[in-house]
Each structure stands twice: as structure tokens, then as C-alpha cells.
Amino acid sequence: MSEHIGAKPGVWEGEARPLFLAPMAGVSDLPFRLLAKDCGADVTITEFTNSTALTREAAMSWRKMESHATEIPFIPQIFGGDAGDMATAAEMLAPTADIIDLNFGCPAPKVTKICAGAALMGEPDNLVSMVDGIIQRVDVPVTAKMRLGTGQGANNALEICKELENIGTSRLCIHGRTLRQRYAGEADWNSITRIVNEVEVPVVANGDVNDAESAKLCLETTGAAGLMIGRGAIGRPAIFGEIKVGLGWMAEEELPWIKELGEDWYVRSEIGRAFATRKWCWDKYIEHSHKTIGLQPRWMQRHAIAFTKGLPGAKKIRHMMHGAPTPEDFAIGISNYLAPNTNE
């Protein structure tokens, strides 16, 4: 058992279980992952990266694989349709990674057309032998994230998971949808439960966990070893702390944005608290960017749109986003927009 992956836990009795920030292309960049940890996420994973590009030393792809001393464990996620490139990329990452995660869940046509991501679930033998080849080549734990199946024919995640367990995969994460469903419909937690019950490695449940209530229901239903949160964390990384407070795993006054405001927090309106929380998160995102890879305009823009979404005046701030002369001005502009309202 790896120091970063515990044993499979038993029935959930309300105790804390790890919360994962989902790997998300265009979202889970390094400063955002560090921010998610500040907000209460226990584990973060990089966005998926093309293994063939990594083997060709593509700078853009290696940039996605950067980490920081405070990101423990560091878990890069890779995808690809070529077993040799997958194993080589894993080998290149192993010296710096604590765990290597493999993507068998992506439904994007540019990925599935090279028979990578979720398309590999349609070729289970190839999927399993690919993972086996990787496990043979690296001495760090290997984990896999997948869907329930392709959606053509019966779902096969359970059979695949049993085989992956047998060859030494250390942890599995199941997104409760099929490839065909992409993001439509409700995540099927009952199918995740069957996998949790039938394998001995820890299984993380993923799909439609958006708040403390759904987190509780998902843990009650699945008994999973942890929960992974994707879309619910976009623009709202505070969700991790909010879930922990809602489930009684931490005290509300321990949340860092409340700690910073002290008594002021309690006299604010709901919207005033939303501004205050998002300002704290935005400022931390910028601080982590400076500390790691510097301000990245495209990443900042995406997060700024998500962080301000739904707040009064958010549309007007879009003009400022386009007109900011430098990334520093952009960062300050968003922070200022979020600031005055914290007095509400």
C-alpha cells in the first residue's frame, strides 16, 4: 500500500473521507490545484496530458505537468492510444510523481478517435494490457479513472476494475456515466456501489457531487473511499471546505476566508459572503500563480469568468477583462471588482 493511498475503508459511518479535485482540462492548472487544497481538497490531479506529446518532449504538454513542493501528492494524469508511449510517458514522469493516473474516461472525439480515453473501454483487453505495461515500467502507484462503459452494449467497468485490481492498480475512480452519455443525465451512483463492493482496492466516486447534501448521499449510497468533484469546483473551489463543514468534518470558523474576515463574516449578507469568498479565492489563485508558473493570461481569463459568474455586475467586468493592459492589471481589476462588495 502506498503512503498516499490508504486501504479500502469499510461502510461509511459519517467519518471524513478524502475529497479530490477532478482532473479538468483548462481548469485544473497548478495554481488552481494549490488553491483547491487551501480550500479543503485533499487530493488534486493534473488535467489529462497526451502521452505521445510528452514522449516527444512537447513544451506545452510538459508545462501541464509542473508541480510545486507543496503539492503532495503530485498526481499527473496521462492519456493516449499507444501503449508504448503511455508506458514511456509514465516512466518519464515517475521520478517526480507520487502517483500516476491514467485517463479512460474522456469522451472528446479528438481523444476517442485515437482510441484513447473512454474509447479504450470498448477494447478492455487493450486497456488492461496497457495498464499492465505501465505498472511493469514504473515504481510509483498507478491509478485509473474511467466511466461505467462505452454505452454500447452492457457496461463493463466492473469487469475492467477487477482485472485492473489483479494486475496491481492501486486505486480506481469511477465517473458514473457512460462514454455515450458524455455529461448528460444523472450520474449512476448505484453502479459505482457495485464496483466498490466487488474490488478490494479503494474506489473513488465521481459525478454530480455539488454540495454537502449530494456528498453525503453519494457516500451513503456508494461507501466510496473518497469523492471527486469536477464541475462543482469550477469558479467555486470553496466547495471543498463547504462540504467538510456541512458534513461536520471541520468547523466553519476554520475556513480560511472566514478566518480572514473574523466577525465581519457573520454580519454579511449571502451575496456579501459570496463576494468575500470569491475574492479570497481569486487573490490566492494569483498568489499561487506568482509563486509557481507566473501569471498565465489564458488561465486567468477562464478562471476570472468562472469566479465572477452569477455575481451582480459580472457582465460589466468582462469589458475590463478585455481592456486590461497587463496580466497584473487584470488580476487587480478582478480583485477590486470582488472587493467593495464584501462590505454588503
Q: Which stretch binds ligand FMN (CB under 6 A): 99-107, 149-157, 247-255, 320-328?
A: 99-107
Q: Between 246 and 333, whose beta carbon lies closer to ligand FMN?
A: 246
Phi, psi of 304 (to 5 degrees): -60, -40
Interface with ligand FMN in residues 125-164 (CB under 6 A): 145
Q: Could you give the dihedral angle defined by the CA atoms of residues 137, 64, 285 and 270, in that order, rounded to the nearest 10 degrees? A: -80
**229 contributes a contact to ligand FMN by CB under 6 A:** yes
Q: How far is the CB of 16 from ligand FMN (least distance, A)?
A: 19
Give the position of cell 457582465.
315
Interface with ligand FMN in residues 49-78 (CB under 6 A): 77
CA distance 91 to 28: 22
Q: What is the DSSP letter of 46?
A: P
The CA–CA distances, whole Å, from 169 to 100, 132, 160, 199, 211 equal: 10, 8, 11, 11, 29
> For residue 182, which amino acid is it?
R
Q: Is the peptide bond before 340 cis (omega within 30 degrees of 0)?
A: no
Q: How far is the CB of 233 from ligand FMN (least distance, A)?
A: 8
Interface with ligand FMN in residues 270-299 (CB under 6 A): none
Q: Between 175 and 278, whose beta carbon lies closer to ligand FMN?
A: 175
Q: Between 91 and 211, whose beta carbon lies closer to ligand FMN?
A: 211
Q: Crossing angle, helix 297-308 and helix 314-323, to 10 degrees?
A: 170
Q: Between 170 and 206, whose beta carbon lies closer to ligand FMN?
A: 206
Q: Between 29 and 85, whose beta carbon lies closer to ligand FMN?
A: 29
Residue 218 is a catalytic residue: no
Q: Out of 37, 171, 175, 273, which residue is the one contacting ligand FMN (CB under 6 A)? A: 175
Which of 235, 144, 222, 239 has its CA nearest to residue 187? 222
Interface with ligand FMN in residues 189-218 (CB under 6 A): 206-209
Cite the active site residues: 106
Chain residues binding ligand FMN by CB under 6 A are 22-27, 47-48, 77, 103, 105-106, 145, 175, 206-209, 229-232
